[in-house]
Structure 1
Amino acid sequence: MEHVEGTGHGRDRADRDRAELVAAEDVLLFVNAAVTATGQREFRSGAGEQRLSLAFLHEYVRVNHRPLYAAALALDINDHNAALIVEGLLCAAGEAGPEQRRREGALIAARLAALPPQRVYRLFRALRAAGVNNRRTRAIQREWLAARPDPALDAVKYRGGLRSALRHGHHRAATEELGDFLFRPGARTRYGHPLLEAYRRSRYEKDALYELPFTVAEGVAARRGVDRAEFLERIAPRMTRLERLRTQRAGAVPAGRTDLSVMPLTRLALYVLSLPYAERVERRAELTGALRSAARRAAGPAAGSWGRVAAVLDDSCSSSGSAVKRRRPLAVALGAHFLLEALAGSYRAYWTSGAKDPLLVRPWGATPLGMRVLDALEGSPERLVIVSDGWDNAPPGLAGEVLRIWRTRLDPLRRTAVVHLNPVYDAEGFDVRRLAPGVPTAGIRDAEDLPALVEIARFAEGRTGAAGLRAYLDRRTADFLARHGRREAR
């Protein structure tokens, strides 16, 4: 009898372990998708395929692993998926108990505070369209709206979104004047707030345009037929750094007026890749200095601590991305190059095209990943980082075979840590494409997230166990909520 009971206990434990392993694999798959997928067209798949695949994945993980689904809000996922998670949690609030709802509420509030306001207003509209208007949703909306630093700016810049959110949640506007501006625009002949007054005057005073935020003034100027070049020249002092970069290519805003050294790494890489070759060569010192400065900021205290590092970076034709994500995969690879250079003690880069000058890379040719992996492993680095969409086609499958033989026969003790970072979501496989079963793979959208993604990729090897993944998620959640608390206090 004791033997039977022991066998039953052992079977139960094995079943729990198997369930934990499945949960860990599901969460890692979801995190890869939530980092890379944006529901937009990719090089090898359309927007419809992306959205359908992503919707299934969200629903599957939410229904089967809701606590881990919510915990993903504390990770470096993209804004599109963060908004989808919040929407999913609020639309299916009945699936969670009171304690889980409290934890989700804290995560949702923290993530909404980190999202761009236009994304949050779009989320509120989606909740309204779905008929989600319970007390919990109204409280979350009310707290987020109350924390907005300048309600008048939101009323001018996101007028439709703010008006919809106030109506949906039955909230009051911050001031009576703001309420009149949003819902009774003809009730006042003058506003006390200078921004609201400037918007009113912009309907008939040309000079009032240049007192408005750039995105608002741009629309008003187009409706009034204001000359584009004159408008850009006069509105330039009110532009943000990113807005100035977007208009530089039109020639109205001089390039030297933007301080590239304070831009985020991936955004800066995208900007560099948008420049013609001749301009990249002419501004080589400025652009290289800015990229290295951004990489050092992203590396932080870990700079120089990674030992001997080799990188295989994909600049094949598919790194051109798509019309809506132009050169995004190549920009991630370029940013990763400079970040790994900052993190490493010694560093070697191997571009799939054979390029030697990272500043002049362009999407070109096939993807001979296997040959470049062989080149990189020849020096026995301590770390090998591969940044590629995983379509190894010159010849097909060589990279996976090289990595398999390296891991099983030449380096079974894992003296070289290998990780594959993939910037492209594979809609058909519900994950990012992998090179070899024994090589951990993680999705990546921004190069500056590389150190954190290398850490989470190790869970894909299966050596740390599901308990280690849960502990990691708990730690990231606690850190995320602590940062949010400090920000709210400020």
Structure 2
Amino acid sequence: MNAPKSVRASAPVPVGADGTVRTEGRVADLVAAEDVLLFVNAAITATGQREFRSGAAEQQLSLDFLHTYVRVNYRRVYAASLALDINHHNAALIVRRLLETAGEASPGELRAEGRLIAARLALLPPPRVYRLFGELRRGKVNNRRTRAIMRDWLAARPDLGHDAVKYRAGLKTVARHIHLPCPEGGGPLAEVGAFLFRPGRLPRYEHGLLDAWRRAHYEQGAVAELPFTVAEGFAAKHGMKREVFLKRAAPGMTRLERLRTQERRAAAGRHGAPAPKADLTVMPLTRLALYVLSLGFEQRAERRAELTGALRAAARRAAGGHAGSWGRVHAVLDDSFSSSGSGQKRRRPLAVALACHHLLEVLAAPGAYRGLWTSGAGDALLVRPWGPTPLGMRILDALEPGADGAAPDRLVIVSDGWDNAPEGLAGEVLRVWRARLDPARRTAVVHVNPVYDAEGFAVRGLAAGVATAGIRDAEDLPALVEIARFAEGRTGTTELYAYLDRRVARFTGAGGEGGVAA
């Protein structure tokens, strides 16, 4: 496995005692900016899971190196990444590494990191936070700062009784680690403490969920009162029929639980109990695209109006105030065989492309969008992972003027970057376009890549002059296009750090103390 290009290209960038980068000359400045963007793209895209062209072990090793390299050389930037649209996996990794290495930070850095960590933990799903806290306990990270962060997060939880039932092992681990006071008297904490550490001591609980859990051991009627994931275990214990259980549990299921139940039934054909129907119009765009692709062609065709309407509604929500502001937009969307992803990330690249297709249609001016699939497919709802990746040919088509004779204002390419029909044509087309046909850059070209390349420590690009950004959820596309401009090589750390400082200030609601360029 090779080191990142910027690491191979130059000596390590000097770092001052305060964690700032001492750039000496334009080359060092651009190297630092490239290192930062390399990590940001990886943190947005990589999850340490198997991809189409690399295994989980390679992904994890590559990601571990990047985290260590950026934390050591650019600690302020490493922490500031928590304010960006990185995925949950990398956000938890950053929090863990910052807490494990608190001794390497200055007091000012610790204060800034504390605000970022608290703001990020508030956005992470509770199961992931409990898993993170468990890893910190096993790693014997038990300093006062870590315990305070855990206590503050628990104090902000809306209902510890609910957490005690749904995330019992995780809450029990955290309570032990931070020595959470659970007195034997009255009060909510006393009941939670009794539930976690002294089960069976109380004849009943005042908290509804805690008492439902107690009654569910011998009373089927109490099963439906529990969170769905907990109720499933009790339903199996009581031998409840699946259709009866789903009917009773339906009112308390979350939108995602309804959707997952429908997906499982779709994957198993038409056998099994009928699933409670999810309201697709309120689903996040990329998650909805994954559900659509899990359906067979016949089901998609039968439900065309419903599915297309839901995708367009989700795209309008994701576009927000950007709707119609991008002018003429042409897109090249990769539905080649590699977009099938892997067993762990099944059809994820294709789902991102499908979601981007609908989002770009909303972002473009009315009637000024044109989407081109690499397979030549004309029906977005029926796309499937198939064939080679003729990116170069599709980019040529996309750069053609529209019906009004005008060139596109933006060209967006959604692909893993493996151009192979013929190999390298996409990069050559873009190079010639920039050098000969559009030197004034009237058409903005951006490549968004949903797949992390473990061997290259980056998301695979197409051409030197074309900005490439990692993407995990199509909803982040407007923000990623903004940060992708830093990848064109024409700006250094000053502009990039100023952008990060603005994002950190918005994310934490704090002033400029502890900025990445401070």
In the superposition, the TM-score normalised over structure 1's length comes to 0.94
Alignment match of 1:204 (pick from 208, 213, 218): 218
- CA-to-partner distance for each residue in 1:33-62, whole Å, 9 max, x for gaps? 001111111111111111111111101100
Give 1:222 deviation, angstroms.
Answer: 2.4
Partners of 1:283 and 1:229 lie apart in 2 by 23
- CA-to-partner distance for each residue in 1:283-318, whole Å, 9 max, x for gaps? 111111111111111111110010111000000001
Contact 1:233–1:252 at 8 Å: present in 2 too?
Answer: no
Partners of 1:80 and 1:26 lie apart in 2 by 20
Partners of 1:107 and 1:352 lie apart in 2 by 41
Alignment match of 2:117 (pick from 108, 124, 127): 108
The aligned counterpart of 2:395 is 373
Q: Is residue 309 of structure 1 aligned with residue 329 of structure 2?
A: yes
Partners of 1:84 and 1:225 lie apart in 2 by 40
The aligned counterpart of 1:488 is none
Give 1:169 deviation, angstroms.
Answer: 1.4
The aligned counterpart of 2:59 is 50
Q: Is residue 185 of structure 1 aligned with residue 180 of structure 2?
A: no
The aligned counterpart of 1:148 is 157
- CA-to-partner distance for each residue in 1:241-287, whole Å, 9 max, x for gaps? 111111124253457x3221111100111111111111111111111
- Name the SS for the 2:342 alignment partner: coil
The aligned counterpart of 1:128 is 137
Partners of 2:211 and 2:320 lie apart in 1 by 44
Contact 1:154–1:162 at 8 Å: present in 2 too?
Answer: yes
Alignment match of 1:194 (pick from 208, 225, 228): 208
Q: Is residue 470 of structure 1 aligned with residue 497 of structure 2?
A: yes
Matches within 5 A, 1:284-363: 284-345=304-365, 346-363=368-385
Contact 1:236–1:253 at 8 Å: present in 2 too?
Answer: no
Q: List runs of 5+ in structure 2 lacking aligned partners.
A: 1-20, 183-187, 266-271, 402-406, 511-518
Partners of 2:22 and 2:252 lie apart in 1 by 63
Change (3 A) 1:193 1:444: same
Q: What is the RMSD of the two structures over their aligned residues, measured on CA atoms?
A: 1.5
Partners of 1:376 and 1:237 lie apart in 2 by 47
Partners of 1:103 and 1:20 lie apart in 2 by 24
Give 1:17 deviation, angstroms.
Answer: 4.1
- Name the SS for the 2:466 alignment partner: coil
Partners of 2:26 and 2:504 lie apart in 1 by 23
Alignment match of 2:75 (pick from 57, 66, 69): 66
Partners of 1:327 and 1:461 lie apart in 2 by 29
Contact 1:195–1:212 at 8 Å: present in 2 too?
Answer: yes
Partners of 2:285 and 2:274 lie apart in 1 by 22
Name the % identity: 73
The aligned counterpart of 1:225 is 239
Partners of 1:14 and 1:481 lie apart in 2 by 28
Q: Is residue 434 of structure 1 aligned with residue 461 of structure 2?
A: yes
- Name the SS for the 2:48 alignment partner: coil
The aligned counterpart of 1:482 is 509
- Name the SS for the 2:346 alignment partner: coil
The aligned counterpart of 1:447 is 474
- CA-to-partner distance for each residue in 1:120-175, whole Å, 9 max, x for gaps? 00000110111100000000000000000010000000000000001111122461
Give 1:13 deviation, angstroms.
Answer: 9.0
- Name the SS for the 1:324 alignment partner: coil
Q: Give the counterpart letter for 1:284 in structure 2.
A: R
Contact 1:244–1:253 at 8 Å: present in 2 too?
Answer: no
- Please, which moves more after superposition, 185-194 or 29-38? 185-194
Give 1:381 deviation, angstroms.
Answer: 0.9
Partners of 2:41 and 2:492 lie apart in 1 by 18
Contact 2:416–2:449 at 8 Å: present in 1 too?
Answer: yes
Partners of 2:473 and 2:29 lie apart in 1 by 30
Contact 2:30–2:491 at 8 Å: present in 1 too?
Answer: no
Q: Give the counterpart letter for 2:397 in structure 1.
A: D
Give 1:473 deviation, angstroms.
Answer: 0.3
Partners of 2:273 and 2:314 lie apart in 1 by 26
Change (3 A) 1:14 1:106: closer
Higher helix share: 1
Partners of 1:76 and 1:469 lie apart in 2 by 15
Q: Give the counterpart letter for 1:325 in structure 2.
A: K
Q: Give the counterpart letter for 1:164 in structure 2.
A: T
Q: Is residue 36 of structure 1 aligned with residue 45 of structure 2?
A: yes
Q: List runs of 5+ in structure 1 lacking aligned partners.
A: 1-11, 484-490
Q: Give the counterpart letter for 2:203 in structure 1.
A: T
The aligned counterpart of 1:238 is 252
Partners of 1:235 and 1:260 lie apart in 2 by 19
The aligned counterpart of 1:248 is 262
Contact 1:312–1:350 at 8 Å: present in 2 too?
Answer: yes
Q: Give the counterpart letter for 1:189 in structure 2.
A: P
The aligned counterpart of 1:6 is none
Give 1:220 deviation, angstroms.
Answer: 2.1
Alignment: residue pair count: 471
Give 1:227 deviation, angstroms.
Answer: 2.3
Q: Is residue 15 of structure 1 aligned with residue 24 of structure 2?
A: yes
